Structure 1
Amino acid sequence: MNDPDLSLLSAGELLRGIVDEVTEIRAREYTVMQKIAELNRRGAATEFGYKTLPQVLQHAVRWDPKTAKRWVDQAVLLGSEITPTGNELAPELPVTAEAAAEGTLSIEHVAVVAEVMKSLPSTYEAQVVGYAREFAPASVRALGTRLIYGLYQNDPEPRDPEPAPPGNRLTLRQDKAGDWKFAGTMDAVTGAKLVTLLDPLAKPRSTTDEGPDPRSRDERQGDALAELIDLMLRADQLPEHGGEPVTLTLTMAYQDLAEQVGHAVLDNGNRIPADQVRQLACTAGIIPIVLGGKSQPLDVGRRSRLFTAGIRRALVARDHGCAFPGCGRPPKHCDAHHVHHWADGGDTRVDNGVLLCRHHHTLIHRSGWGVTIEQGVPVFYAPAWLDPRRRPRRNQLHTAA
């Protein structure tokens, strides 16, 4: 409809048109959420080489991290689930899903309803959705809070938890999937030291071609702890184990490593996939033991296989930190990565190396992002689904340096 036509409409007709079109937009938003829920059910983030679906959407539709996470969260609440036997389970918020499909609720309404329903039995969902059909999200939250208070006002006040006894304790357990779970307590001084070490590593990453850092604070602190471990492995002074510095050994067949199939075995007998082995093999302090056809050791990770201190200094002088476009991580937070992997015949030299922080090192190994050395500098190429033209990209932050 063009402007001359709009000028002929009455105020009531214009307003009615707005209501109808907003309803249609909201119904289409629900359709988008259904598609997002299906991607989530399929685990599509892994297929694209990303850690989470919000990171994929952040690239694909240029959403900021909070928006992408909100869409995925609401999609999961409103989408049905398929069991391993093929049965379809109702959405977690079925009444909300029905109203959203009609175009009655915005994504902001859905978020508020979900927030309120965390504190209410499921039998109250219809009442809260009734609020959302009539009022703006802020009013729905206020009415929901009043409903919660009225339901629980006679409950006893919660007791303060008993204070934990002082001291340092750490409990480590490995689950069946191979992941480590831990819990513990620290005295005030030790805890303060740990926070001091983690804080600079847990800061949000600077905005890159991927967009702003999508990680929550807990995720950033978890990654910071992993990075702190990597920093310790690269340190000059480490505790000894069996008379030599602490070292992690990976054992697998060379053919499997070259073809990126199968798995490697760690010192403790645990197995990890081949793609993770190729990433770990870039890191100092990791010794890959590659076996031939008769399981004889072909190479026990000679230090020349890893980037020497001299080569690393040259990479620092060239890259000034993580070379991924827009990343500001300093050199001490970076691994030296083989552009042409050593398992594929790549040499350990400056013009086959690039500095990458932990996050972008993982991304290069597991996604469609690529990196080459062109005219002596690292050049990156986004996956075809993100940039069909696959235009070259460089880290302009470090170029300026």
Structure 2
Amino acid sequence: MSETPVQLLSTDALLASVVSREKRMRVELFEQMQEIAELERRGAGPELGYKDVAYVLQHAIRCDRNTARQMVANSALLSSTITPTGSELAPELPLTAEAAAEGALSIAHVAEIAKAMKHLPAEVENLVVDVARENEPLAVRDFGKGLAYGLYQDDPEPAAPKQERLVNQHYRRWRKDGMLEIRALLDAVTGAKYEALIDPLAKPRPASTSADPNTAEPGADPRPRSEREGDALAELVDLMLRADQLPAHGGEPVTLTVTVNYDDLADQTGQALLDNGERIPADQIRQLACNAGVIPLVLGGASQPMDIGRKTRTFPAGIRRILVARDRGCAFPGCTRPPRHCDAHHIQHWANNGDTSVDNAVLLCRHHHTLIHQSEWEVKLVHGIPTFYPPPWLDPERKPRRNLIHAAA
């Protein structure tokens, strides 16, 4: 092996070294496959206290479960077998094993060849391997599909196997920490619709919309995918609650009833009771009440219901249309959420005698609506334009900011 530092090699020599090193690594990988196959033949999983060899590999070389299972599967295809009588049986894919032993194939190539050969006769393995020697793994996949179509295009269409009827299922349970845990099984069409709804709502937020002081990189969306999709589901629920075609429940449109002491609501202290028996902090009710169907339940001094008013929508359709025309979406600086993803927020909360009017309202998406309620951000109307003032930790001077994205649209 050359001792010349890589910085002193010519480009051609450097590339040749990369190719040579990759070939050696592939040869060693093939040898590793032989060892894994022998572990599998010996039943090393139970012998070592694990369910199978894939679990052994997962812990021994610290790889994920799917990678370990793929390694075991590929090793079986590439290794010969010794019978009890001492005879050697060729590998299931002998030509693939031969090419892998030469260092001509990567593990990804082997996987694609194995997939293709499931639908092809053994006589054409040489054709698939030849393609793999000269092309990337995806080309092997496409070639295998095309070869199978050419070989079997005159065959009658296979009869579709009779499948059991698949039904959509939904499970839910309240946890001790107050979170609702949900699971669902959806058919393919419904699942695709669900993904189409969730995916655009779960996109990472643009850098300019973040206001988290704990973010490692200023402006970056720190949420993992699971949290982003959870927030997207919550936003989807809000979108549905604003729809005008929801089915009736108990004789009236879907309504969330909340019981809370008025003083607790005004002071943002204490707890509120949901109609399913769960309790939430009173400060969250202030946000919920901004744009929800509200049934006032007046409590007496002994927490006895004294009077129930009729349901009213805090912001009627007429006011919302004006807000849409004015704000054109979430008014928070840098946010691109459209109007249909936004709530109407009381600038001065109605619990503090704020009016339900255009001059006391602003459109905010779910994320920024929560931010305004739970942080030191402030919003005011300046000459009829929503203007935001950041908390001191973000900007000691608290310079006013506006959303210029919708205005430029």
TM-score range, shorter chain: 0.5 to 0.7
Aligned to 2:253: 245
1 or 2 for the larger relative contact order (CA 8 Å, sep ≥6)?
Answer: 1
In the alignment, the residues of structure 2 paired with residue 396 and residue 325 of structure 1 have an alpha-carbon distance, to the nearest angstrom, of: 7
In the alignment, the residues of structure 1 paired with residue 61 and residue 358 of structure 2 have an alpha-carbon distance, to the nearest angstrom, of: 65
Q: Counterpart amino acid of 2:223?
A: R
Identify if the C-alpha distance between structure 1 residues 330 and 296 changes in structure 2 by more than 3 Å, giving closer, same or farther. Answer: same
Identify if the C-alpha distance between structure 1 residues 282 and 301 changes in structure 2 by more than 3 Å, giving closer, same or farther. Answer: farther
- Contact 2:58/2:68, CA 8 A, preserved across alignment: no
Q: What is the 5 A alignment of 1:147-186?
A: 148-149=60-61, 157=69, 166-186=166-186
Note the alpha carbon deviations across 1:261-311, whole angstroms, 9 max, x for none.
Answer: 11111111211101101010012335453435454456636426x000000
Aligned to 2:381: 373
- Contact 2:347/2:361, CA 8 A, preserved across alignment: yes
Q: Which moved more, 1:334-343 or 1:290-299?
A: 290-299
- Report the CA distance between 1:184 and its aligned residue: 2.6
Aligned to 2:243: 235
1:300 aligns with 2:309: yes
SS class of match (1:354): strand
Note the alpha carbon deviations across 1:324-376, whole angstroms, 9 max, x for none.
Answer: 00000000000000000000000100010000000000010011111111111
In the alignment, the residues of structure 1 paired with residue 204 and residue 399 of structure 2 have an alpha-carbon distance, to the nearest angstrom, of: 26
Q: Which runs of 4+ in 1 moved over 6 A?
A: none
Aligned to 1:399: 407
- Contact 1:339/1:371, CA 8 A, preserved across alignment: yes
Identify if the C-alpha distance between structure 1 residues 288 and 281 changes in structure 2 by more than 3 Å, giving closer, same or farther. Answer: farther
SS class of match (1:392): coil
Aligned to 1:51: none
1:278 aligns with 2:286: yes
SS class of match (1:225): helix
- Contact 2:294/2:312, CA 8 A, preserved across alignment: no
- Contact 2:293/2:312, CA 8 A, preserved across alignment: no
Aligned to 2:193: 193
- Report the CA distance between 1:394 and its aligned residue: 0.6
Identify if the C-alpha distance between structure 1 residues 288 and 329 changes in structure 2 by more than 3 Å, giving closer, same or farther. Answer: farther
- Contact 1:207/1:213, CA 8 A, preserved across alignment: yes
Aligned to 2:351: 343
SS class of match (1:383): coil
- Contact 1:234/1:285, CA 8 A, preserved across alignment: no
Note the alpha carbon deviations across 1:225-271, whole angstroms, 9 max, x for none.
Answer: 11111111110111211111110000111111111111111111211
Q: Counterpart amino acid of 1:187?
A: D
Stretches of structure 1 that go unaligned for 5 or more consecutive residues are 1-144
Give the one of 225, 231, 243 matched to 1:217. 225
Q: Counterpart amino acid of 1:375?
A: H
Aligned to 1:254: 262
Aligned to 1:52: none
> What is the number of residues matched between the two proteins?
252
In the alignment, the residues of structure 1 paired with residue 381 and residue 231 of structure 2 have an alpha-carbon distance, to the nearest angstrom, of: 28
Q: What is the 5 A alignment of 1:311-350?
A: 311-350=319-358
Aligned to 1:49: none
Q: Counterpart amino acid of 2:309?
A: V
Between structure 1 and structure 2, the one with the greater Rg is: 2
In the alignment, the residues of structure 1 paired with residue 317 and residue 306 of structure 2 have an alpha-carbon distance, to the nearest angstrom, of: 26
Q: Counterpart amino acid of 2:380?
A: T
In the alignment, the residues of structure 2 paired with residue 203 and residue 352 of structure 1 have an alpha-carbon distance, to the nearest angstrom, of: 30
Q: Counterpart amino acid of 1:237?
A: Q
- Report the CA distance between 1:198 and its aligned residue: 1.3
Note the alpha carbon deviations across 1:142-201, whole angstroms, 9 max, x for none.
Answer: xxx99953999xx995899xxx99432111010112101122321111111111111222
Q: Counterpart amino acid of 2:293?
A: G
Identify if the C-alpha distance between structure 1 residues 302 and 185 changes in structure 2 by more than 3 Å, giving closer, same or farther. Answer: closer
Note the alpha carbon deviations across 1:24-79, whole angstroms, 9 max, x for none.
Answer: xxxxxxxxxxxxxxxxxxxxxxxxxxxxxxxxxxxxxxxxxxxxxxxxxxxxxxxx
Aligned to 1:64: none
SS class of match (1:204): coil
Identify if the C-alpha distance between structure 1 residues 286 and 375 changes in structure 2 by more than 3 Å, giving closer, same or farther. Answer: same
Aligned to 2:154: none
SS class of match (1:235): coil
- Contact 1:291/1:299, CA 8 A, preserved across alignment: no
Identify if the C-alpha distance between structure 1 residues 157 and 297 changes in structure 2 by more than 3 Å, giving closer, same or farther. Answer: same
SS class of match (2:359): helix
Note the alpha carbon deviations across 1:109-146, whole angstroms, 9 max, x for none.
Answer: xxxxxxxxxxxxxxxxxxxxxxxxxxxxxxxxxxxx99
- Contact 2:295/2:308, CA 8 A, preserved across alignment: no
In the alignment, the residues of structure 1 paired with residue 246 and residue 58 of structure 2 have an alpha-carbon distance, to the nearest angstrom, of: 57
Identify if the C-alpha distance between structure 1 residues 217 and 150 changes in structure 2 by more than 3 Å, giving closer, same or farther. Answer: closer
- Report the CA distance between 1:209 and its aligned residue: 4.7
